[in-house]
Amino acid sequence: MLNLGYGMPRSRNFDVAVSMGIGLHALARPRRSSVTVTPQFKKGDCPSSTTSGLTCFADLPYSSPGIMVAVPTLAALMNPDGPRCMRLLERYVLTELLRVFGILVTISTSLLVCVGAFGQAKEYGLGHWQILQILPFIVPSLLPYTIPATLLLSVCVVYGRMSGDNEIVAAKAAGINVMNLMWPSFFLASLLSVAVLLLSDQVIPWAYKNIEQIATLAMEDIFIDRLKTQSTISVRERDRRITITVTGVRDRMLLQPVFRYATNGRDAYTVTAREARLSFDLPRQQVWLELHGAESSLPGNQNSAYINFDRIAFPLKETNQKLKGRDLSIEGIQRELPKLSADCQRLKQLQEIEAAMALATGNFDRFAEPSFQAYQADGRAAASTIRRLRTEHHSRFSMAISCLFFVLLGSPFSILMARNQFLTCFLFCFIPILLIYYPISIMSLNLAKTGAVDPAWAAWVANGLIGLVAAYVLRRVLQH
Protein backbone atom coordinates (compact mmCIF):
# COMPACT_ATOMS: atom_id res chain seq x y z
CA MET A 1 0.00 0.00 0.00
CA LEU A 2 1.28 3.47 -0.95
CA ASN A 3 0.20 6.55 1.02
CA LEU A 4 0.47 10.00 -0.61
CA GLY A 5 -0.24 13.23 1.32
CA TYR A 6 -1.03 16.46 -0.47
CA GLY A 7 -1.15 19.83 1.25
CA MET A 8 -4.48 21.66 0.99
CA PRO A 9 -5.52 25.20 1.97
CA ARG A 10 -6.50 25.89 5.61
CA SER A 11 -4.32 23.01 6.96
CA ARG A 12 -6.34 20.29 5.24
CA ASN A 13 -4.62 17.29 3.69
CA PHE A 14 -5.52 14.91 0.95
CA ASP A 15 -4.85 11.38 2.31
CA VAL A 16 -4.49 8.98 -0.52
CA ALA A 17 -4.31 5.25 -0.29
CA VAL A 18 -3.63 3.18 -3.35
CA SER A 19 -4.00 -0.58 -3.10
CA MET A 20 -2.60 -2.86 -5.85
CA GLY A 21 -2.41 0.12 -8.22
CA ILE A 22 -6.19 -0.05 -8.66
CA GLY A 23 -8.27 1.99 -6.13
CA LEU A 24 -7.91 5.66 -5.20
CA HIS A 25 -9.74 7.62 -2.54
CA ALA A 26 -8.93 11.26 -1.75
CA LEU A 27 -10.09 12.37 1.67
CA ALA A 28 -10.23 15.94 3.02
CA ARG A 29 -10.15 16.07 6.84
CA PRO A 30 -8.16 17.78 9.65
CA ARG A 31 -5.75 14.93 10.49
CA ARG A 32 -3.90 12.33 8.47
CA SER A 33 -4.98 8.71 8.07
CA SER A 34 -4.80 6.00 5.47
CA VAL A 35 -7.42 3.74 4.00
CA THR A 36 -6.87 0.45 2.26
CA VAL A 37 -9.29 -0.23 -0.56
CA THR A 38 -9.78 -3.63 -2.11
CA PRO A 39 -10.63 -3.59 -5.83
CA GLN A 40 -14.05 -4.95 -6.79
CA PHE A 41 -13.28 -5.50 -10.49
CA LYS A 42 -11.09 -7.74 -12.54
CA LYS A 43 -7.55 -6.87 -13.43
CA GLY A 44 -7.34 -4.75 -16.58
CA ASP A 45 -10.98 -3.62 -16.43
CA CYS A 46 -11.96 -0.02 -16.08
CA PRO A 47 -14.36 1.13 -13.32
CA SER A 48 -17.86 1.89 -14.44
CA SER A 49 -18.70 5.49 -15.31
CA THR A 50 -21.11 7.55 -13.23
CA THR A 51 -22.38 11.08 -13.23
CA SER A 52 -18.89 12.53 -12.98
CA GLY A 53 -18.05 11.06 -16.36
CA LEU A 54 -14.88 9.45 -14.96
CA THR A 55 -15.17 6.48 -12.60
CA CYS A 56 -17.18 5.07 -9.71
CA PHE A 57 -17.33 6.81 -6.32
CA ALA A 58 -16.76 5.48 -2.79
CA ASP A 59 -18.33 7.04 0.32
CA LEU A 60 -16.12 7.07 3.40
CA PRO A 61 -17.78 7.94 6.73
CA TYR A 62 -15.73 9.05 9.76
CA SER A 63 -16.66 9.19 13.42
CA SER A 64 -14.28 12.05 14.16
CA PRO A 65 -15.22 15.63 13.25
CA GLY A 66 -14.90 15.87 9.53
CA ILE A 67 -16.91 15.35 6.39
CA MET A 68 -18.00 12.53 4.12
CA VAL A 69 -16.51 12.81 0.65
CA ALA A 70 -16.90 10.96 -2.64
CA VAL A 71 -13.89 10.91 -4.96
CA PRO A 72 -13.38 9.05 -8.26
CA THR A 73 -11.29 5.85 -8.30
CA LEU A 74 -8.83 6.89 -11.02
CA ALA A 75 -5.74 4.85 -10.24
CA ALA A 76 -6.97 2.06 -12.49
CA LEU A 77 -6.51 4.45 -15.36
CA MET A 78 -2.76 4.23 -14.80
CA ASN A 79 -2.74 0.46 -14.68
CA PRO A 80 -0.23 -0.66 -17.29
CA ASP A 81 -2.34 -3.73 -17.95
CA GLY A 82 -5.34 -1.56 -18.84
CA PRO A 83 -4.32 1.07 -21.40
CA ARG A 84 -7.86 1.27 -22.67
CA CYS A 85 -8.80 2.96 -19.38
CA MET A 86 -6.34 5.78 -20.05
CA ARG A 87 -7.83 6.13 -23.49
CA LEU A 88 -11.24 6.32 -21.82
CA LEU A 89 -10.14 9.30 -19.71
CA GLU A 90 -8.71 11.08 -22.74
CA ARG A 91 -11.86 10.36 -24.73
CA TYR A 92 -13.90 11.80 -21.89
CA VAL A 93 -11.96 15.07 -21.94
CA LEU A 94 -12.07 15.26 -25.74
CA THR A 95 -15.81 14.57 -25.79
CA GLU A 96 -16.43 17.34 -23.26
CA LEU A 97 -14.37 19.75 -25.33
CA LEU A 98 -16.19 18.87 -28.54
CA ARG A 99 -19.60 19.18 -26.90
CA VAL A 100 -18.92 22.58 -25.37
CA PHE A 101 -17.09 23.86 -28.45
CA GLY A 102 -19.91 22.81 -30.77
CA ILE A 103 -22.50 24.66 -28.71
CA LEU A 104 -20.42 27.82 -28.30
CA VAL A 105 -19.25 28.08 -31.91
CA THR A 106 -22.84 27.70 -33.11
CA ILE A 107 -24.06 30.48 -30.84
CA SER A 108 -21.21 32.89 -31.57
CA THR A 109 -21.34 32.34 -35.34
CA SER A 110 -25.11 32.79 -35.39
CA LEU A 111 -24.78 36.13 -33.61
CA LEU A 112 -22.01 37.37 -35.90
CA VAL A 113 -23.84 36.31 -39.07
CA CYS A 114 -26.22 39.24 -38.57
CA VAL A 115 -23.27 41.64 -38.37
CA GLY A 116 -21.64 40.11 -41.46
CA ALA A 117 -24.88 40.23 -43.45
CA PHE A 118 -25.38 43.89 -42.53
CA GLY A 119 -21.83 44.73 -43.65
CA GLN A 120 -22.23 42.98 -47.01
CA ALA A 121 -25.65 44.56 -47.56
CA LYS A 122 -24.18 48.00 -46.86
CA GLU A 123 -21.19 47.40 -49.17
CA TYR A 124 -23.20 46.13 -52.14
CA GLY A 125 -26.57 47.76 -51.41
CA LEU A 126 -28.40 44.42 -51.24
CA GLY A 127 -32.08 43.90 -50.58
CA HIS A 128 -33.79 41.44 -48.24
CA TRP A 129 -33.90 38.58 -50.76
CA GLN A 130 -30.24 39.01 -51.70
CA ILE A 131 -29.25 39.02 -48.01
CA LEU A 132 -30.95 35.64 -47.56
CA GLN A 133 -29.08 34.33 -50.60
CA ILE A 134 -25.63 35.32 -49.27
CA LEU A 135 -26.17 34.01 -45.72
CA PRO A 136 -24.80 30.51 -46.51
CA PHE A 137 -21.59 32.12 -47.79
CA ILE A 138 -21.19 34.49 -44.83
CA VAL A 139 -21.01 31.65 -42.28
CA PRO A 140 -17.72 30.08 -43.52
CA SER A 141 -16.17 33.54 -43.88
CA LEU A 142 -16.75 34.18 -40.15
CA LEU A 143 -15.52 30.85 -38.79
CA PRO A 144 -11.76 31.67 -38.92
CA TYR A 145 -12.47 34.59 -36.58
CA THR A 146 -14.91 32.86 -34.21
CA ILE A 147 -13.10 29.52 -33.83
CA PRO A 148 -10.00 30.73 -31.84
CA ALA A 149 -11.96 32.71 -29.23
CA THR A 150 -14.65 30.02 -28.96
CA LEU A 151 -12.02 27.31 -28.49
CA LEU A 152 -10.41 29.34 -25.72
CA LEU A 153 -13.78 29.65 -23.95
CA SER A 154 -14.35 25.91 -24.36
CA VAL A 155 -11.09 24.90 -22.67
CA CYS A 156 -11.81 27.40 -19.88
CA VAL A 157 -15.21 25.80 -19.32
CA VAL A 158 -14.01 22.19 -19.36
CA TYR A 159 -10.73 22.46 -17.47
CA GLY A 160 -12.09 25.10 -15.11
CA ARG A 161 -14.89 22.75 -14.08
CA MET A 162 -12.56 19.77 -13.77
CA SER A 163 -10.12 21.73 -11.63
CA GLY A 164 -12.88 23.23 -9.50
CA ASP A 165 -14.34 19.76 -8.85
CA ASN A 166 -10.87 18.45 -7.82
CA GLU A 167 -10.84 16.00 -10.72
CA ILE A 168 -7.39 17.27 -11.70
CA VAL A 169 -6.11 16.70 -8.13
CA ALA A 170 -7.57 13.20 -8.05
CA ALA A 171 -5.97 12.32 -11.38
CA LYS A 172 -2.56 13.64 -10.28
CA ALA A 173 -2.87 11.73 -7.03
CA ALA A 174 -3.36 8.57 -9.08
CA GLY A 175 -0.07 9.26 -10.83
CA ILE A 176 -1.60 10.60 -14.03
CA ASN A 177 0.48 13.35 -15.56
CA VAL A 178 -1.49 16.53 -16.11
CA MET A 179 -0.23 16.59 -19.70
CA ASN A 180 -2.31 13.46 -20.34
CA LEU A 181 -5.37 15.50 -19.42
CA MET A 182 -4.40 18.47 -21.57
CA TRP A 183 -3.24 16.74 -24.72
CA PRO A 184 -6.84 16.23 -26.04
CA SER A 185 -7.20 20.03 -26.10
CA PHE A 186 -3.86 20.35 -27.92
CA PHE A 187 -4.96 17.70 -30.40
CA LEU A 188 -8.28 19.45 -31.01
CA ALA A 189 -6.54 22.81 -31.41
CA SER A 190 -4.16 21.33 -33.99
CA LEU A 191 -7.06 19.95 -36.02
CA LEU A 192 -8.91 23.25 -35.85
CA SER A 193 -5.76 25.14 -36.89
CA VAL A 194 -5.64 23.06 -40.06
CA ALA A 195 -9.38 23.62 -40.57
CA VAL A 196 -8.99 27.41 -40.17
CA LEU A 197 -6.15 27.41 -42.70
CA LEU A 198 -8.27 25.50 -45.21
CA LEU A 199 -11.21 27.85 -44.60
CA SER A 200 -9.13 31.00 -45.11
CA ASP A 201 -7.29 29.56 -48.11
CA GLN A 202 -10.03 27.77 -50.05
CA VAL A 203 -13.51 28.39 -48.64
CA ILE A 204 -13.38 32.14 -47.98
CA PRO A 205 -12.21 33.11 -51.51
CA TRP A 206 -14.93 30.85 -52.93
CA ALA A 207 -17.53 32.40 -50.58
CA TYR A 208 -16.60 35.99 -51.49
CA LYS A 209 -16.73 35.20 -55.20
CA ASN A 210 -20.24 33.83 -54.77
CA ILE A 211 -21.28 36.87 -52.74
CA GLU A 212 -19.98 39.19 -55.46
CA GLN A 213 -21.73 37.12 -58.13
CA ILE A 214 -25.05 37.34 -56.28
CA ALA A 215 -24.55 41.08 -55.81
CA THR A 216 -23.73 41.52 -59.50
CA LEU A 217 -26.77 39.52 -60.59
CA ALA A 218 -28.93 41.64 -58.33
CA MET A 219 -27.28 44.89 -59.39
CA GLU A 220 -29.87 45.65 -62.06
CA ASP A 221 -32.74 45.11 -59.60
CA ILE A 222 -30.95 47.20 -56.98
CA PHE A 223 -30.31 49.96 -59.51
CA ILE A 224 -33.95 50.09 -60.66
CA ASP A 225 -35.27 49.98 -57.07
CA ARG A 226 -33.03 52.88 -56.00
CA LEU A 227 -34.15 54.96 -58.99
CA LYS A 228 -37.78 54.24 -58.16
CA THR A 229 -37.37 55.37 -54.55
CA GLN A 230 -34.73 58.14 -54.85
CA SER A 231 -35.08 59.25 -58.52
CA THR A 232 -31.33 59.93 -58.66
CA ILE A 233 -28.08 57.94 -58.38
CA SER A 234 -24.55 59.28 -58.20
CA VAL A 235 -21.49 57.07 -58.76
CA ARG A 236 -17.91 58.24 -58.15
CA GLU A 237 -14.86 56.30 -59.35
CA ARG A 238 -11.49 57.94 -58.75
CA ASP A 239 -11.55 61.14 -60.85
CA ARG A 240 -14.88 60.41 -62.56
CA ARG A 241 -18.41 61.14 -61.44
CA ILE A 242 -21.64 59.93 -63.10
CA THR A 243 -25.08 61.18 -62.02
CA ILE A 244 -28.39 59.76 -63.30
CA THR A 245 -31.70 61.52 -62.65
CA VAL A 246 -35.11 60.28 -63.83
CA THR A 247 -38.70 61.45 -63.55
CA GLY A 248 -39.99 57.89 -63.27
CA VAL A 249 -39.46 54.19 -64.04
CA ARG A 250 -41.90 52.04 -66.00
CA ASP A 251 -41.19 48.35 -66.67
CA ARG A 252 -37.43 48.88 -66.25
CA MET A 253 -37.54 51.75 -68.73
CA LEU A 254 -36.12 55.04 -67.46
CA LEU A 255 -38.41 57.96 -68.27
CA GLN A 256 -36.81 61.29 -69.26
CA PRO A 257 -33.41 60.42 -67.80
CA VAL A 258 -30.59 62.96 -67.51
CA PHE A 259 -27.01 61.64 -67.50
CA ARG A 260 -24.18 63.89 -66.30
CA TYR A 261 -20.56 62.81 -66.73
CA ALA A 262 -17.67 64.86 -65.29
CA THR A 263 -13.92 64.19 -64.92
CA ASN A 264 -11.23 65.90 -62.83
CA GLY A 265 -13.59 68.60 -61.57
CA ARG A 266 -14.41 69.85 -65.07
CA ASP A 267 -17.84 70.82 -66.34
CA ALA A 268 -20.20 67.92 -66.87
CA TYR A 269 -21.07 66.37 -70.20
CA THR A 270 -24.88 66.12 -70.27
CA VAL A 271 -27.16 63.70 -72.14
CA THR A 272 -30.95 64.03 -71.95
CA ALA A 273 -33.15 61.30 -73.42
CA ARG A 274 -36.84 60.56 -73.84
CA GLU A 275 -36.33 56.98 -72.65
CA ALA A 276 -33.39 54.82 -71.71
CA ARG A 277 -32.73 51.26 -70.58
CA LEU A 278 -29.79 49.74 -68.72
CA SER A 279 -28.89 46.05 -69.07
CA PHE A 280 -26.03 44.14 -67.44
CA ASP A 281 -23.91 41.74 -69.50
CA LEU A 282 -22.17 39.60 -66.85
CA PRO A 283 -20.16 37.31 -69.21
CA ARG A 284 -18.53 40.37 -70.79
CA GLN A 285 -18.54 42.39 -67.54
CA GLN A 286 -20.30 45.28 -69.30
CA VAL A 287 -23.28 47.57 -68.81
CA TRP A 288 -25.26 48.47 -71.94
CA LEU A 289 -27.06 51.82 -72.12
CA GLU A 290 -29.82 52.13 -74.74
CA LEU A 291 -30.86 55.73 -75.50
CA HIS A 292 -34.07 56.70 -77.33
CA GLY A 293 -34.56 60.27 -78.48
CA ALA A 294 -31.38 61.54 -76.80
CA GLU A 295 -29.89 65.01 -76.94
CA SER A 296 -26.29 65.66 -75.88
CA SER A 297 -24.46 68.87 -75.08
CA LEU A 298 -20.79 69.60 -74.49
CA PRO A 299 -19.64 71.84 -71.62
CA GLY A 300 -19.10 75.41 -72.79
CA ASN A 301 -20.89 74.78 -76.08
CA GLN A 302 -24.41 76.01 -76.75
CA ASN A 303 -24.90 73.60 -79.63
CA SER A 304 -26.40 70.15 -79.05
CA ALA A 305 -26.61 66.92 -81.01
CA TYR A 306 -29.74 64.81 -81.42
CA ILE A 307 -29.51 61.01 -81.32
CA ASN A 308 -32.55 58.98 -82.29
CA PHE A 309 -31.12 55.68 -80.99
CA ASP A 310 -27.78 54.65 -79.64
CA ARG A 311 -26.36 51.75 -77.63
CA ILE A 312 -23.27 52.40 -75.50
CA ALA A 313 -21.21 49.87 -73.49
CA PHE A 314 -19.51 50.66 -70.19
CA PRO A 315 -17.18 48.36 -68.19
CA LEU A 316 -18.86 46.86 -65.16
CA LYS A 317 -15.70 47.24 -63.11
CA GLU A 318 -12.26 48.65 -63.67
CA THR A 319 -9.69 46.26 -65.11
CA ASN A 320 -6.96 47.72 -62.87
CA GLN A 321 -8.95 47.18 -59.72
CA LYS A 322 -6.79 46.41 -56.72
CA LEU A 323 -6.31 42.74 -55.98
CA LYS A 324 -7.83 41.75 -52.66
CA GLY A 325 -5.95 39.11 -50.72
CA ARG A 326 -9.18 37.63 -49.37
CA ASP A 327 -10.25 36.76 -52.94
CA LEU A 328 -7.12 34.69 -53.65
CA SER A 329 -5.88 31.37 -52.36
CA ILE A 330 -2.29 30.92 -51.24
CA GLU A 331 -1.52 29.36 -54.61
CA GLY A 332 -3.14 32.32 -56.34
CA ILE A 333 -1.10 34.76 -54.27
CA GLN A 334 2.09 32.94 -55.20
CA ARG A 335 1.12 33.19 -58.88
CA GLU A 336 0.36 36.91 -58.68
CA LEU A 337 3.49 37.99 -56.81
CA PRO A 338 5.97 37.29 -59.69
CA LYS A 339 3.66 39.06 -62.16
CA LEU A 340 3.39 42.13 -59.95
CA SER A 341 7.15 42.17 -59.37
CA ALA A 342 7.73 42.06 -63.14
CA ASP A 343 5.22 44.90 -63.68
CA CYS A 344 6.88 46.99 -60.98
CA GLN A 345 10.31 46.47 -62.54
CA ARG A 346 8.98 47.27 -66.03
CA LEU A 347 7.37 50.52 -64.87
CA LYS A 348 10.58 51.54 -63.13
CA GLN A 349 12.59 50.93 -66.30
CA LEU A 350 10.12 52.91 -68.45
CA GLN A 351 10.26 55.80 -66.02
CA GLU A 352 14.06 55.78 -66.09
CA ILE A 353 14.05 55.77 -69.91
CA GLU A 354 11.60 58.69 -70.04
CA ALA A 355 13.68 60.61 -67.50
CA ALA A 356 16.88 60.04 -69.49
CA MET A 357 15.21 61.21 -72.70
CA ALA A 358 13.88 64.33 -71.00
CA LEU A 359 17.30 65.19 -69.58
CA ALA A 360 19.03 64.53 -72.91
CA THR A 361 16.66 66.78 -74.86
CA GLY A 362 16.34 69.42 -72.15
CA ASN A 363 12.57 68.92 -71.98
CA PHE A 364 12.24 69.44 -68.23
CA ASP A 365 8.51 70.10 -68.51
CA ARG A 366 8.18 66.39 -69.24
CA PHE A 367 8.66 65.62 -65.51
CA ALA A 368 5.48 67.55 -64.67
CA GLU A 369 3.30 65.87 -67.28
CA PRO A 370 0.62 63.44 -65.98
CA SER A 371 1.83 60.65 -68.30
CA PHE A 372 5.29 60.74 -66.70
CA GLN A 373 3.93 60.89 -63.14
CA ALA A 374 1.64 57.97 -63.96
CA TYR A 375 4.69 55.67 -64.13
CA GLN A 376 5.57 56.52 -60.55
CA ALA A 377 1.96 56.23 -59.35
CA ASP A 378 1.49 52.83 -61.02
CA GLY A 379 4.81 51.64 -59.62
CA ARG A 380 3.80 52.63 -56.09
CA ALA A 381 0.44 50.88 -56.54
CA ALA A 382 2.13 47.68 -57.72
CA ALA A 383 4.59 47.75 -54.80
CA SER A 384 1.72 48.32 -52.35
CA THR A 385 -0.17 45.36 -53.81
CA ILE A 386 2.92 43.16 -53.43
CA ARG A 387 3.26 44.10 -49.75
CA ARG A 388 -0.44 43.49 -49.11
CA LEU A 389 -0.38 40.06 -50.75
CA ARG A 390 2.78 39.01 -48.90
CA THR A 391 1.23 40.13 -45.62
CA GLU A 392 -1.96 38.22 -46.42
CA HIS A 393 0.08 35.10 -47.21
CA HIS A 394 1.84 35.05 -43.81
CA SER A 395 -1.17 36.25 -41.81
CA ARG A 396 -3.23 33.25 -42.89
CA PHE A 397 -0.77 30.84 -41.30
CA SER A 398 -0.42 32.93 -38.14
CA MET A 399 -4.20 33.30 -37.77
CA ALA A 400 -4.71 29.55 -38.19
CA ILE A 401 -2.03 28.58 -35.65
CA SER A 402 -3.46 31.05 -33.11
CA CYS A 403 -5.96 28.32 -32.16
CA LEU A 404 -3.11 26.22 -30.79
CA PHE A 405 -1.48 29.16 -28.98
CA PHE A 406 -4.80 30.11 -27.34
CA VAL A 407 -5.24 26.56 -26.05
CA LEU A 408 -1.62 26.35 -24.86
CA LEU A 409 -2.44 29.32 -22.66
CA GLY A 410 -6.07 28.60 -21.77
CA SER A 411 -5.79 24.96 -20.67
CA PRO A 412 -3.08 25.33 -18.00
CA PHE A 413 -4.41 28.73 -16.93
CA SER A 414 -7.85 27.22 -16.21
CA ILE A 415 -6.26 24.42 -14.20
CA LEU A 416 -4.09 26.88 -12.30
CA MET A 417 -7.02 29.10 -11.32
CA ALA A 418 -9.11 26.12 -10.12
CA ARG A 419 -12.37 28.03 -10.29
CA ASN A 420 -15.86 26.80 -11.03
CA GLN A 421 -16.74 30.24 -12.46
CA PHE A 422 -15.49 29.56 -15.98
CA LEU A 423 -16.52 33.02 -17.15
CA THR A 424 -14.17 34.57 -14.61
CA CYS A 425 -11.35 32.37 -15.84
CA PHE A 426 -12.20 33.14 -19.45
CA LEU A 427 -12.23 36.90 -18.83
CA PHE A 428 -8.93 36.77 -16.95
CA CYS A 429 -7.46 34.95 -19.95
CA PHE A 430 -9.26 36.64 -22.86
CA ILE A 431 -9.17 40.31 -21.80
CA PRO A 432 -5.34 40.46 -21.96
CA ILE A 433 -5.58 38.76 -25.36
CA LEU A 434 -8.18 41.31 -26.46
CA LEU A 435 -6.18 44.28 -25.17
CA ILE A 436 -2.67 43.09 -26.08
CA TYR A 437 -2.72 40.25 -28.62
CA TYR A 438 -5.11 41.71 -31.19
CA PRO A 439 -3.74 45.31 -31.11
CA ILE A 440 -0.19 44.00 -31.55
CA SER A 441 -1.33 41.68 -34.34
CA ILE A 442 -3.18 44.46 -36.19
CA MET A 443 -0.30 46.92 -35.72
CA SER A 444 2.25 44.41 -37.01
CA LEU A 445 0.18 43.59 -40.09
CA ASN A 446 -0.41 47.28 -40.87
CA LEU A 447 3.32 47.99 -40.58
CA ALA A 448 4.01 45.05 -42.89
CA LYS A 449 1.53 46.39 -45.46
CA THR A 450 3.29 49.76 -45.47
CA GLY A 451 6.68 48.10 -45.91
CA ALA A 452 8.07 49.22 -42.54
CA VAL A 453 8.69 45.62 -41.37
CA ASP A 454 9.03 42.21 -42.96
CA PRO A 455 5.70 40.29 -42.85
CA ALA A 456 7.61 36.99 -42.56
CA TRP A 457 8.21 37.71 -38.85
CA ALA A 458 5.78 40.56 -38.15
CA ALA A 459 2.78 38.24 -38.55
CA TRP A 460 4.13 36.00 -35.75
CA VAL A 461 4.93 38.62 -33.08
CA ALA A 462 1.58 38.34 -31.29
CA ASN A 463 1.65 34.52 -31.34
CA GLY A 464 5.20 34.59 -29.97
CA LEU A 465 4.08 36.67 -26.97
CA ILE A 466 1.19 34.29 -26.29
CA GLY A 467 3.63 31.36 -26.55
CA LEU A 468 5.99 32.86 -23.95
CA VAL A 469 3.16 33.45 -21.45
CA ALA A 470 1.75 29.97 -22.15
CA ALA A 471 5.17 28.36 -21.51
CA TYR A 472 5.38 30.08 -18.11
CA VAL A 473 1.84 29.06 -17.05
CA LEU A 474 2.31 25.50 -18.31
CA ARG A 475 5.56 25.18 -16.36
CA ARG A 476 3.79 26.22 -13.16
CA VAL A 477 1.03 23.67 -13.72
CA LEU A 478 3.52 20.85 -14.37
CA GLN A 479 5.55 21.75 -11.27
CA HIS A 480 2.58 22.11 -8.91
Which tens digits make up the pLDDT trace of 392-407?
999 999 999 999 999 9
User: Is 101 in the same domain as 152?
Assistant: yes
Q: Which of left, alpha, beta for 241 (phi over 0: left; psi -120 to 50: alpha)?
A: beta
Q: Would you say residue 385 lies in a domain?
A: yes
pLDDT tens sequence across 90-134:
888 999 999 999 999 998 888 888 777 777 777 666 767 777 888
How many CA atoms are closer than 13 Å to the CA of 298, on its beta-carbon side? Answer: 4
294-298, 329-333, 466-470: range with lowest mean pLDDT: 294-298
User: Is 338 in the same domain as 461?
Assistant: yes
Q: What is the pLDDT of residue 42?
A: 44
- Confidence check: pLDDT of 464 > 90: yes
292 compared with 57, residue with greater pLDDT:
292
91-105, 168-182, 240-254, 342-356: range with lowest mean pLDDT: 240-254
Q: Would you say residue 63 lies in a domain?
A: yes
| Angle, alpha carbons 200-329-204 (nearest 5°) | 35
Q: What is the pLDDT of residue 419?
A: 58
307 within 8 A of 291, measured Cβ to Cβ: yes
9 compared with 210, residue with greater pLDDT:
210
What's the mean pLDDT in 438-447? 91
Residue 72 CA to residue 26 CA, distance in Å, equals 8
Output the DSSP codes for 320-357.
Answer: TPPPPGGGS-HHHHHHHHHHHHHHHHHHHHHHHHHHHH
What's the mean pLDDT in 310-314? 79
What's the mean pLDDT in 193-209? 90
Q: What is the pLDDT of residue 185?
A: 93
Q: Would you say residue 114 lies in a domain?
A: yes
pLDDT tens sequence across 343-383:
888 888 888 888 888 888 888 887 787 777 888 888 888 88
Q: Would you say residue 321 lies in a domain?
A: no
Q: Would you say residue 392 lies in a domain?
A: yes
Boundary residue ending a domain (291, 315, 339): 315
Q: What is the pLDDT of residue 207?
A: 87
User: Is 207 in the same domain as 289?
Assistant: no
User: Of 27, 178, 60, 180, nearest to 3 (Cα)?
Assistant: 27
Residue 224 CA to residue 232 CA, distance in Å, equals 10
- Confidence check: pLDDT of 80 > 80: no
User: Is 409 in the same domain as 269?
Assistant: no
What's the mean pLDDT in 420-448? 83
Q: What is the pLDDT of residue 38?
A: 39
User: Is 426 in the same domain as 350?
Assistant: yes
Boundary residue ending a domain (161, 191, 219): 219
Q: Name the pLDDT band for 161 (thresholds 50, 70, 90).
A: confident
User: Is 52 in the same domain as 109?
Assistant: no
Q: Would you say residue 322 lies in a domain?
A: no
Average pLDDT of the residues of the chain: 75
Q: What is the pLDDT of residue 25?
A: 34
Q: What is the pLDDT of residue 348?
A: 85
413 within 8 A of 429, measured Cβ to Cβ: yes
Q: What is the pLDDT of residue 300?
A: 63
Q: Would you say residue 54 lies in a domain?
A: yes
What's the mean pLDDT in 410-415? 89
- Confidence check: pLDDT of 65 > 90: no
Q: What is the pLDDT of residue 444?
A: 92
User: Is 446 in the same domain as 335?
Assistant: yes
User: Is 25 in the same domain as 103?
Assistant: no
What's the mean pLDDT in 447-451? 90
Residue 184 CA to residue 162 CA, distance in Å, equals 14
What's the mean pLDDT in 440-449? 91
Q: What is the pLDDT of residue 12?
A: 33
Boundary residue ending a domain (219, 240, 262): 219
Share of the chain above pLDDT 90, in %: 19
Residue 62 CA to residue 52 CA, distance in Å, equals 23
Q: Name the pLDDT band for 173 (thresholds 50, 70, 90).
A: confident
Residue 117 CA to residue 110 CA, distance in Å, equals 11
Q: What is the pLDDT of residue 3?
A: 35
User: Is 58 in the same domain as 6?
Assistant: yes
Q: What is the pLDDT of residue 434?
A: 84
172-181, 195-204, 455-464: range with lowest mean pLDDT: 172-181
Query: For residue 441, how many other CB atoms are within 10 A of its CB?
Result: 23
- How many domains, the chain? 4
- Confidence check: pLDDT of 411 > 80: yes
Q: Which of left, alpha, beta for 74 (phi over 0: left; psi -120 to 50: alpha)?
A: alpha
Q: What is the pLDDT of residue 194?
A: 95
Residue 445 CA to residue 442 CA, distance in Å, equals 5
Domain extent, residue 40, equals 2-78
Q: Name the pLDDT band for 282 (thresholds 50, 70, 90).
A: low
Q: Name the pLDDT band for 319 (thresholds 50, 70, 90).
A: very low
User: Is 212 in the same domain as 288?
Assistant: no
- Confidence check: pLDDT of 454 > 60: yes
User: Is 67 in the same domain as 103?
Assistant: no
378 compared with 45, residue with greater pLDDT:
378
User: Is 214 in the same domain as 224?
Assistant: no
What's the mean pLDDT in 295-322? 68
Bridge-based pairing state of the strands 258-263 and 240-245: antiparallel
480 compared with 419, residue with greater pLDDT:
480
